[in-house]
Structures are given as C-alpha cells and as structure tokens.
C-alpha cells in the first residue's frame, strides 16, 4: 500500500511538472526541491496521525484510568481535530505549490509549514494545559526529547522558509504582483 502510494505520488509529480512546463514556458517547473517538499507534505498528515495515535495509546496503557476521564475524551477529540487540520493544511500547501502563481501563495505555503511543524505542537500544549493543568502539561519537557524535536522542527522549517523565499526558482515561479495583478519588478 505504501509503495503503491509512493509510486502514485511520484507519477503525479512527474505529470504535474510536465503539465506546468507545457502550460507556461516562462514559468519554471517544480524541480527537485519543490517536488520533495510536496512529498513531505503528503507524508505529514500520516506521520502526525500515527504519532498522535501512538502517544494516546501509550498514555492509556500507562494510566488506564485516563479512559474514564471526561477531559481525556475531550483531549482525544481535539487531538483528532488537530490531525485533521494538518491534513487540510497539507492539502492547501500542496495546492499552493502546484497551482500558485503569486508571492501570496508562496507566503501561504510558508505559513502552513510553520503551522504544521510548530503551530500544532503549541495548540496541543495549550489544550493539554487547559484540560489537565499547565503543571501537568509541562511534564512533556522533562526528558528533553520534546525540546530537541521542537528545535529540529524549527530548524528544518526555517531552512524550507529560506529556500522558498530566497531561491531563484521560487522567485521566478511565484513572482510578486501589484494590486492590478501585474508582476512587479523591483529593478528595471
């Protein structure tokens, strides 16, 4: 199943690159890095959902009394909602990568990357703090692995942000436009 999904994703990337190149000769295709980002965004909802499921299952095995708490059920619903929001954010970001033609779409991609990598953690932390107390929510930082994961996420999202905002390919693919919809060039 996973291999077939990967093959379909690669085929779709190739087809999308061919369609983009045929539709706009002046506009660069996706290239390797935007294709790789698309693949990563395809995997983000799966990774998030599996991680959330694993953490909830582990917590319920360690403390079976959690299943009886109303606030735990509320937390599970909100965690499911966050997983769905990652799926929606990934879909919107992938659409912006492939169909976007302006700098606004590029900024949308950057915003969604930060939401997926850091924003969902912050929201999850705030929900856990509101439902179970912030002293209990702070326990997630005790072993240091959470902090390291956050720093790694921020580092790689920062790298993607730099690539999207500074690379020549992205500047050509997603040009700045003025209020009239015409491409704005800083130096003519």
Question: Would residue 126 count as lying in a domain?
Answer: yes
Which residue segment(s) compose the domain that 49 sits in?
A: 2-173
How many Cα atoms occupy the beta-carbon half-sphere of 181 within 13 Å?
0
CB within 8 Å of 128: residues ≥ 6 apart: 75, 136, 137, 140
Question: Would residue 10 count as lying in a domain?
Answer: yes
The count of structural domains within the chain is 1
Question: Would residue 183 count as lying in a domain?
Answer: no
Where are the alpha helices (H) located in 24-144, listed in sequence order?
A: 31-62, 70-99, 103-114, 120-132, 134-137
Question: Would residue 185 count as lying in a domain?
Answer: no
| Beta bridge pairs of residue 38 | none
- pLDDT of 143 reads 86
- pLDDT of 58 reads 93
In the predicted model, residues of the chain with pLDDT beneath 70 are 1-25, 178-188
The residue written with tokens 């704005």 in the block is: 184
Of the candidates 72, 95, 86, 7, the one whose C-alpha atom is nearest the C-alpha of residue 43 is 86
Question: Would residue 182 count as lying in a domain?
Answer: no
Question: Would residue 184 count as lying in a domain?
Answer: no
How far is C-alpha 69 from the geometric centre of its chain's CA atoms? Answer: 31
Question: Would residue 140 count as lying in a domain?
Answer: yes
Question: Would residue 128 count as lying in a domain?
Answer: yes
Q: 20 φ, ψ to 5°?
A: -65, -45
- pLDDT of 27 reads 79
- pLDDT of 183 reads 62
pLDDT tens digits, 139-188: 989 989 999 999 999 999 999 999 999 999 999 999 987 556 666 655 44
């Amino acid at each position: 199943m996973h291999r077939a999904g990967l093959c379909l994703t690669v085929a779709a990337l190739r087809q999308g690159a061919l369609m983009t190149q045929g539709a706009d000769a002046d506009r660069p295709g996706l290239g390797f890095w935007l294709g790789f980002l698309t693949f990563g965004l395809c995997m983000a909802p799966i990774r998030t959902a599996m991680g959330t499921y694993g953490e909830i299952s582990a917590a319920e095995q360690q403390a079976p009394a959690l299943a009886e708490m109303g606030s735990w059920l509320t937390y599970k619903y909100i965690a499911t909602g966050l997983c769905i929001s990652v799926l929606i954010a990934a879909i919107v970001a992938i659409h912006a990568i492939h169909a976007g033609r302006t700098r606004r779409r590029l900024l949308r991609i950057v915003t969604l990357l930060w939401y997926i990598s850091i924003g969902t953690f912050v929201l999850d932390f705030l929900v856990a703090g509101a439902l179970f107390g912030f002293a209990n929510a702070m326990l997630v930082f005790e072993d240091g692995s959470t902090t390291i994961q956050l720093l790694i996420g921020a580092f790689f999202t920062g790298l993607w942000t730099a690539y999207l905002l500074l690379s020549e390919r992205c500047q050509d693919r997603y040009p700045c436009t003025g209020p009239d919809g015409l491409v704005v060039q800083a130096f003519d």
